[in-house]
Amino acid sequence: MKRLLTLFMASAIFASCTSDDTELQGKYVSGTANVSPIRLFTKSGEVKDEAKALEFITRHGISEFVPQYGIDNSHANEVSITFNPGNTAIVTCFGKTDVRNIVKSNGYIYLEASDITTIYSFANESKITQALLLSPLYSKTTTIPTSSGYSNKTELKHCYFAKETSGRISLPLLNICIVTHIPDQIYARETAYNLNNVFNPEISQNLSDVDTIAVQRIDVELERETH
């Protein structure tokens, strides 16, 4: 399984959030990961046929998906979150360490960077972006002259997304592939692997008749150190 890829994709949004006064404490370190089955979606909704999902990723050569779902140990000790007083945390993801601000919203923990990252892009929104449930709390997109080689500039504060359940912290990752296939023509494929986010199944309503999405969720479990 490939290491965590931090993929910055966002639309123009400034999300409202609700605070939770309960502060997390201590250091949490990744152990096992729970790999979920591969799911397949079309405009009609979910295709609940595991064999078809496996055939789809095989046919399109998508080797980064994990056919054998269950417990996986490849992320052990590679992610840690140390919660500090004052709603800040020290986050380490595969060798990169920085301090993040903690915001709790809609049942998730947003670990938000203090610095603003600038991303340049084209007008057409990525379909993968549309398939993501979570977005940075601060993100602002403006139109820029096409002479720059781009059409949009997005300024955002990158977030890691986590969830607390029964005294454990989990980091949701996604493997996702969207294929647009027109018979007798070249198909387009958009992919992202180990993307820290949650899939939004309502994207099915926005798909065309020639779109298919394969998605797999991997929950990296972090347990609190006791010593």
In tens, the pLDDT along 35-53 reads 999 999 999 999 999 999 9
pLDDT for 186 equals 66
Structure tokens at 128: 């993968």
**Tens of pLDDT, residues 103-143:** 999 899 999 999 999 999 887 768 898 899 999 999 999 99
pLDDT for 118 equals 96
Candidates 216, 172, 191; CA nearest to 75 is: 172
Is the pLDDT assigned to residue 22 strictly greater than 80? no
pLDDT for 13 equals 34
141, containing H or E segment: strand 138-143
Q: How far is CA 9 from CA 86, 95, 158, 222, in A?
A: 28, 22, 9, 25
pLDDT for 6 equals 36
Is the pLDDT assigned to residue 10 strictly greater than 90? no
Q: Which carries the bigger pLDDT value, residue 60 or residue 159?
A: 159
- Using only the alpha carbons of the chain, give its radius of gyration: 18
Of 8-12, 17-21, 117-121, 126-130, which gets the smallest average pLDDT? 8-12
Is the pLDDT assigned to residue 15 strictly greater than 80? no
- Average pLDDT of 56-72? 85
**Residue 18 banded pLDDT, cuts 50, 70, 90:** very low
Is the pLDDT assigned to residue 65 strictly greater than 80? yes
Is the pLDDT assigned to residue 17 strictly greater than 50? no
> From CA 58, how far away is CA 78, in angstroms rounded?
29
Q: Other C-beta atoms within 10 Å of 168: how many?
A: 14
> From CA 67, how far away is CA 107, in angstroms rounded?
29
- Bridge partners of 42, per DSSP, are 45
Residue with tokens 């939770």: 20
**Tens of pLDDT, residues 81-107:** 999 988 999 999 878 899 999 999 989
pLDDT for 74 equals 77
**Residue 8 banded pLDDT, cuts 50, 70, 90:** very low
pLDDT for 7 equals 37
**Tens of pLDDT, residues 135-194:** 999 999 999 998 988 999 999 999 999 999 877 899 999 999 999 887 777 678 899 999
pTM of the shown model: 0.84
